[in-house]
Amino acid sequence: MAILNILRYPDPRLHKVAKPVTDFGERLQQLVADMAETMYDAPGVGLAATQVDVHERLIVIDVSETHDQLKVFCNPEIIWASEDKQLYEEGCLSVPGIYDGVERPARVKVRALDQHGKPFELEADGLLAVCVQHEMDHLMGKVFVEYLSPLKRNRIKTKLLKEERGMQREPGPRAAGARR
């Protein structure tokens, strides 16, 4: 297993639309294991393949306190969503340190394939429903900050770009006798 690099907003690769998973062989099994390890290490409760620059319709989720209830969704689709909505404070591994309220359907029913290609359906509410919808947005090239106002989105983009530039610029040692 390996810790994968998580793309950071506003990386344009986060806006690519994912293609369906068609091969359920060893490569996919390794990707699922690597994504799960990356998600737990981050730490997070969900991760879409898009976030690790693999543009296939694959998400991993574990909203349990004990981190032992991994759910894998290949080619997920929401087949029902409740009319009642809930406002949930969301964050994202691709948008580190940023949290804001997003309104989504309170309950959803999802149809997907597991990592071996076996179909299943799942009804979700609460954090799991939010997480499924959030990760499925990634597969469509959408990041949660796109639900926020343009002003908030631009502030977040500016803040993250500044942080990234700061991380790339490692201060070197000063030359002896250098003037300030």
SS (H, E, C) 89-132: EEEECCEEEEEEEEEEECEEEEEEECCCCCEEEEEEEHHHHHHH
Q: Kindly list the distances between the CA atom of residue 68 and the CA atoms of 31, 39, 64, in Å, as whole numbers in the listed order.
A: 18, 12, 7
Residue 116 known to bind ligand: no
Residue 15 known to bind ligand: no
Active site residues: 135
The answer to whether the CB of 48 falls within 8 A of the CB of 58 is yes
Residue 138 known to bind ligand: yes
Known binding-site residue numbers: 92, 134, 138
Binding site for Fe cation, by residue number, is 92, 134, 138
